[in-house]
Structure 1
């Protein structure tokens, strides 16, 4: 499996790693101060992006608890939605999320769920559906069946983080379908963030997913009902059914022998029907209880996997994107600083960092060197000449970052 762009280490750990990469005579306090200035600059830039996301999302936020000062036209709302979609996609890319392809999504819908629940999703309810994931890994889980007597090891692909962006169709659609939307507002856009989601269970993240019985469940319940029903009919209603059949045959003229119905017959028939009705109710309750257990399994999974919703997702993703940008910039600057005056090409830098992670930390990743170098160039911390990048000295880099803060306002 190819590595992800996501760097699975905390920013604080990366700062310590960078300090260890530099020569022993490097002033550790300087590198720590440089990292602090760099982190604060990136944090300020993402704070502005967060405010822009909140402003554009406010017009169609289904959980908004503030008043609107001005009426927003449909055209203005559409413009805000388009701006938000672009900014949100850029934020997810900065946080090193990868878009889940339609092929992966269809594969997930056709694959059997790990927690043995069959779900059905009505895609016609959505105007737009986009899934993003980060941190792909292979895991193994023990699946139990036959009341725990049978155990089976299942290997599956797991996503550490999954973000979803879903826009519902307008109210006219649901009115035409005579379908009452539950838990969401027609025309609204919802955003959710989940953790530890098996690839095969992506369908459980849809807001309109409904539990359906699997074929094996239908066979178990149906077989039990048929066998039980036959037993009840033979033992409790056998005589009553024969009497009723004879009575109907006499009424329709199929035979001439008169049938005498006594009070005892009526009582026996009534008791038999009551027993049969009780049996039907019991089987129906068994079906409903089984479905409730499946719904509970679904809700339990979602309860522990859900991280954030709607506007709250921005804060989590902005923090994640900020962390990734800081880690990428610090790693690229440190390795270029280590290369001295000769610097390194983009390909060399990318290879050196990826090999260093693989050898030192047994970590396979696809370092986003292009984005890291772009950030460093924008901050004037590196120079580019003849296809090679060179880091400015540490003290000069600190001066450049400090001057940026002095001239910010």
Structure 2
């Protein structure tokens, strides 16, 4: 019965392990002789037993499939490792001082402009299309904003309306005019004109 080269190699390396010696020139020569003898024997067996070809093809195909699966498994493990490393580096970047400051600045700016938009909408609603409103202080506008948030979202918040009003005045969307005493007249710019003002301001920043 013909022995496969894998059994020959296994027997050779088992002998090497038992003797606890490294491969010498003589051992390599013996291995080459065994391999050469195997292929000569294999050539004659092909002529006498065609079924041996089929068995060898099946064995080689199974070996290729096994090696492919092992290689793909290593590749998937490597990809998962790279993804984990990239995610860790990204989180460390966000957790750094600069990343934290940048995140806080972005969140603060977004909150500031959201408050300004809400205050502008409340002023438009309270003027009833006249675009003029007399108030004692900005706190009155803040109370209306807080009441709106509670009525719509059922959430009680304390809105710092002073910064929102300063933003609207700075952008030219609201005009303040003292009318004596502690009262102030607020003139709200209509939506169409507010759109033109913001568009011109944006274009001026790009120029």
Q: Give me the TM-score of the superposition, normalised by structure 2.
A: 0.47
Which structure has the highest helix share of the two?
2
Which structure has the highest strand share of the two?
1
Between Structure 1 and Structure 2, whose CA radius of gyration is higher? 2
Q: Give me the TM-score of the superposition, normalised by structure 1.
A: 0.24
